[in-house]
Structure 1
Amino acid sequence: MSASSSDQPFRLTSLAHGGGCGCKLAPSVLQELLAGAPAAQPFSQLLVGTETGDDAAVWDLDGDTCIVATTDFFMPVVDNPDHFGRIAATNAISDVYAMGGTPIMALAILGMPLGKVDTAIVRDILQGGTAVCASAGIPVAGGHSIDSGEPIYGLAVIGTVRKADIRRNADAKAGDALILTKGVGVGVYSAAFKKEALSADGYEEMIATTTLLNKVGATLAKDAAVHAMTDVTGFGVLGHGLEVARGSGLSVEIEAERLPLLAHAEALVRQGFVTGASGRNWASYGAGVRLPADFPDWRLNLLTDPQTSGGLLVSCAADEADRLVAEINAAGYPAACRIGAVVEGPAEVRVI
């Protein structure tokens, strides 16, 4: 049945078993798949590979300028095709910003179930992605498309970064403060949306945060007070915090009550709107997380909530954190705030 042949409103999300970064493989599955991958040591110019689960690969061209390369794609998290394209493109470009880089071009990745989605809808998806790329100052220079069982869209993105400005997820320092630049709850909102329980203002808030480019990452990388960065996506705050802890060989402390939340996130999660990916996340990495006694389930579900096009998790010198938060807020990220610290200790996350 085509999108226009039914009297019922067509829902793009009805063609997908999951949506957004909630589609990502569970961390434990990904680790198992990558366990036999060959080491990158023979390639001395590969400065960042798969070793720490970082956001993008980085290749040293000449000792100063480096190439940043990434790819990200998923199934629709919303029904509006233009919004889907914008969210997917924003999410993909974020990986370059999270490494401290500046994107220079993108390639489109498209999979569509032929005969189920009208070409006008596909065109709107592509145009949404192109519009975001234009706002990032880059072209969509090509791409590839296939006939697939579910709708898929995303980008491969190429960027550049000075070698001195690379910010990995594995370079946090003991004594650092942790800053998160966007509110949490996108997965909760998407779960409510699929069941038609998300309010109009909640939907607008979700689109606003998921289409907000993490451009500030390129600026933060030039600041010597910023030691490590990563973007918070499908593994949630705890999962990406644990990557920082393990990569840096330190403990990450997260103050649960400091976590910035989308306006309706607490109310919705208390009503039971939780993604399946949230549970898979906890099952995968819960052994690396220490919780307070009697920690409420609703808070845990937000800490494991998969963020589609989430914010940056920034590890920085503690005495510069207030300045950096103010600068990030002024750059257009009003939810940015301190959420914790990096301390000496085992490579784990402690929620306090």
Structure 2
Amino acid sequence: MNNEYKLTKFVQAAGCAAKMGPGDLKQTLCNLNNKDEQVLVGFDTSDDAGVFQIDENLALVQTVDFITPVVDDPYVYGQIAAANSLSDIFAMGAEVKTALNIVGFDKTNIAKDALALILKGGNDKIRECGGVLLGGHTIETPEMYYGLSVTGVINPKEIIRNNSAKAGDVLILTKPLGMGILTTAIKRDLIDLNLTKHCAQIMASLNYIASKIMRKYKVSSCTDITGFGLLGHAFECINENISFCISSNEVPFVKEAYDLAKNGVLPGGSKRNIKFMEDKVLYKDGLDDTIKAILCDAQTSGGLLIAMNKDDAKEFVKELEDFSFGYAKIIAEVIPRGKKEIIIS
């Protein structure tokens, strides 16, 4: 990895840890109206992308996302930012078609040749999943950020929503947690190059293959785990009939994140998530506070959280093993509505 550009040293928060908190965001959006008969999925259900119907067999799936640097290598940062943006399309079960770059360039601290590497990293990820870059827009900003506006397509009958899980389903998580903690540690020079590379590989890996494989099965719901953490995004997936019972022992995370979090290495976004979720979760007695922090950790380019029946889930995890760094696991059961929306055992 090329760390000479020190990208992470010139931003206050790394990646999706810079995201506005879920409570503040909900209040901000409450007066906006997107009602239209062709809008199949709007922002009222906090789904991963919007869906606009063209005809009975075709709908556009649209999303936008951008992040500050999470690693110091420009090319790898571009890959991760693009993977993070593209993921919303995959969570809906759609195919990526086109993308536009969104760039805020910090010319005071970052050399212009770094920007070329960032954009190349992003373009390589767009092409990896069959998409095409059409252009973009760049402005000068006090802090660097990069991401994509992405358009995908789907048959309207095949849309996978985030809030349609059913009692009896299980939940699969396809990537490990801990990226908010670990990218904060990268920014503070607290971890070695090998661990940095491992984290970068996980974040730069597309959810494309996981999305393609899951469509072979009968999936009830899907979302991706990013800035609101596992529990925050899981909360967005719950409808009035169900609760999620998550086994804390089954949730995969990069093991080095535990000691870092225990020693106070936690981004501001994760702290906001912990506070937002505190009255929405029933934790088992004696659950380690560090594990609670990891469950709420703000992820960048995290995995998919998929609901399907248990037998299919076992086969899916086996099929995905070679594409998930061995981290994909069944982590929870969907149960009839309990005392809280989320129960941690």
Q: TM-score, normalised by structure 2?
A: 0.95
Residues 1:180 and 1:248: Cα distance change in structure 2 (over 3 Å):
farther
Contact 2:14 2:184 in 1 (8 A): no
Counterpart-to-counterpart distance in 1, 2:278 and 2:241: 17
Residue 47 of structure 2: aligned partner = 54
> Which letter does structure 2 place at the counterpart of 1:319?
D
2:300 is matched with which residue: 305, 308, 313? Answer: 308
1:251 is matched with which residue: 226, 243, 260? Answer: 243
Consecutive unaligned residues in structure 2, runs of 5 or more:
none
Counterpart-to-counterpart distance in 1, 2:140 and 2:234: 36
Contact 1:220 1:226 in 2 (8 A): no
Consecutive unaligned residues in structure 1, runs of 5 or more:
1-7
1:287-343 Cα deviation digits (max 9, x unpaired): 111111222111011000111000000011123221121122244552111000111
> Which letter does structure 2 place at the counterpart of 1:227?
S
> Which letter does structure 1 place at the counterpart of 2:254?
L
Larger mean CA deviation between 279-288 and 93-102 belongs to 279-288
Shift of 1:33: 0.4
1:89 aligns with 2:73: no
Residue 342 of structure 2: aligned partner = 349
1:185 aligns with 2:197: no
1:98-151 Cα deviation digits (max 9, x unpaired): 000110111000011233321111111111111111212222111111111111
Counterpart-to-counterpart distance in 1, 2:28 and 2:120: 34
Shift of 1:221: 5.2
Aligned positions of 1:1-352 closer than 5 A: 10-38=5-33, 40-41=34-35, 43-220=36-213, 222-245=215-238, 247=239, 249-346=241-338, 348-352=341-345
Shift of 1:86: 0.7
> Which letter does structure 2 place at the counterpart of 1:131?
D
Larger mean CA deviation between 214-223 and 49-58 belongs to 214-223
Counterpart-to-counterpart distance in 2, 1:93 and 1:10: 25
Contact 2:270 2:297 in 1 (8 A): yes
> Which letter does structure 2 place at the counterpart of 1:77?
V
Residues 1:152 and 1:259: Cα distance change in structure 2 (over 3 Å):
same
Residues 1:334 and 1:201: Cα distance change in structure 2 (over 3 Å):
same
Counterpart-to-counterpart distance in 2, 1:100 and 1:248: 24
Contact 1:228 1:316 in 2 (8 A): yes
Structure 2 SS opposite 1:262:
coil
Shift of 1:222: 2.8
Contact 1:100 1:217 in 2 (8 A): no
Larger mean CA deviation between 325-334 and 16-25 belongs to 325-334
Number of residue-to-residue matches in the alignment:
342
Structure 1 SS opposite 2:269:
helix
Structure 1 SS opposite 2:331:
strand
